[in-house]
């Protein structure tokens, strides 16, 4: 007795190394995209698009033709405006791809002493300005160049020092209202104009300097130091977020040093490597997970 033949042939399903690499690369890309938009305005916008798509699916299921047509036009219009809405995120992604910033690179040892000296000078100058309630705005260049903003101010190319910073941000100085751009251990320019953030700052004492600091940190990987003229409060802006109430000079130096290291492609001192984090997450053991890592404030 012969078995009946199937009316269709089963597909030949095979799984090889190329499929595994394809899945891993796609998963890694999605992971970095989620990291890129985390904590930004893109998240609620994506939720809104998902809600529209869900409503369109329900309208098609229940044959609501008018509603489905309206939702289709809404989704088409949304698709057209997506590059405009996500312009900061797309720009940040392309910049990170261009400089290889998606994968953390170890920091060059020859730059460590220069960076620590720069951060020490900035922290000391910021503490003096804060005590005297003098407003200041200092952009510390990371891996992304700030030439377009440097050209909007007065070129200095002077060695960074506490005295020079205090002179720039004196209330009678013509460069007081702009931003100083620091590259390495030099002040490239002062009186520079920075882009303002579109995010609304609800607190009254957060003014134009804070919006400019957040705006620059949204578009580049620069670390921006802000001192409020009204309260003397010291803040640090990085990746579109503002860290506030950093009045203590020791803590300010520690936070500023950590942010600058991260913006230049290295990880903060004492932080675990990618291999260590994966090993801890999945239960593995290596040398770095045996007590060598101590988090710093």
Domain match, 185 and 73 both: no
For residue 184, being part of any structural domain is answered with yes
For residue 295, being part of any structural domain is answered with no
Domain match, 91 and 225 both: no
- Residue 34 domain boundaries: 17-98
98-142 tens-digit pLDDT: 655 555 444 444 478 889 999 999 999 999 999 999 999 999 998
Among residues 46, 67, 98, the one where a domain terminates is 98
173-223 tens-digit pLDDT: 999 889 999 998 999 999 999 988 877 565 655 788 998 999 999 888 899
For residue 69, being part of any structural domain is answered with yes
pLDDT of residue 80: 82
Tell me how far apart the alpha carbons of residues 100 and 77 are, in angstroms, rounded to a whole number: 33
Task: Tell me which of 97 and 170 has the higher pLDDT.
Answer: 170
245-270 tens-digit pLDDT: 787 899 999 999 999 988 876 443 33
Among residues 75, 98, 121, the one where a domain terminates is 98
Tell me how far apart the alpha carbons of residues 197 and 224 are, in angstroms, rounded to a whole number: 13
| Residue linked to tokens 């020079």 | 164
Domain containing residue 245: CATH number: 3.40.1700.10
pLDDT of residue 180: 96
- The sheet that has 241-243: what strands, in order across it? 154-159, 186-192, 179-183, 136-140, 223-227, 234-238, 241-243
Domain match, 117 and 87 both: no
pLDDT of residue 193: 93
60-112 tens-digit pLDDT: 999 999 999 999 999 888 888 877 777 766 776 676 666 555 554 444 444 78
Domain match, 151 and 227 both: yes
For residue 198, being part of any structural domain is answered with yes
The pLDDT of 148-157, averaged and rounded, is 91
pTM over 0.75: no
Task: Tell me which of 227 and 291 has the higher pLDDT.
Answer: 227
What tokens does 159 get? Answer: 């060695």
Domain match, 193 and 90 both: no
* DSSP-assigned beta bridge partners for residue 137: 226
For residue 65, being part of any structural domain is answered with yes
pLDDT over threshold 80, residue 281:
no
Task: Tell me which of 89 and 281 has the higher pLDDT.
Answer: 89
């Amino acid at each position: 007795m012969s078995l009946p033949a199937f009316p269709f042939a089963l597909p030949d399903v095979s799984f090889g190394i190329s499929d595994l690499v394809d899945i891993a690369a796609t998963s890694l890309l999605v992971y970095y995209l989620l990291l890129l938009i985390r904590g930004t305005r893109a998240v609620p916008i994506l939720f809104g698009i998902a809600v529209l798509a869900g409503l369109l699916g329900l309208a098609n299921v229940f044959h609501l033709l008018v509603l489905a047509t309206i939702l289709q036009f809404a989704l088409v219009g949304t698709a057209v405006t997506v590059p405009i809405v996500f312009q900061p995120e797309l720009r940040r992604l392309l910049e990170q791809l261009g400089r290889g910033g998606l994968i953390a690179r170890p920091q060059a040892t020859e730059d460590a002493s220069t960076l620590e000296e720069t951060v020490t000078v900035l922290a000391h100058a910021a503490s003096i300005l804060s005590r005297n309630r003098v407003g200041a705005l200092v952009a510390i260049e990371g891996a992304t160049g700030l030439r377009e903003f440097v050209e909007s101010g007065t070129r200095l190319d002077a060695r960074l020092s506490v005295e020079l910073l205090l002179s720039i941000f004196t209330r009678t100085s013509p460069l007081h209202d702009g931003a100083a751009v620091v590259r390495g251990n030099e002040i490239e320019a002062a009186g520079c104009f920075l882009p303002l953030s579109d995010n609304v700052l609800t607190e009254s004492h957060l003014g134009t300097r804070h919006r400019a600091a957040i705006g620059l940190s949204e578009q580049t990987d620069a670390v921006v130091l802000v001192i409020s003229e009204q309260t003397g409060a010291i803040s640090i802006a990085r990746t579109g977020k503002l860290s506030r109430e950093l009045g203590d000079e020791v803590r300010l130096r520690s936070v500023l040093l950590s942010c600058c290291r991260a913006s230049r492609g290295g990880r903060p001192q004492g932080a675990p490597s990618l291999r260590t984090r994966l090993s801890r997450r999945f239960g593995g053991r290596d040398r770095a997970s045996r007590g060598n890592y101590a988090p710093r404030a």
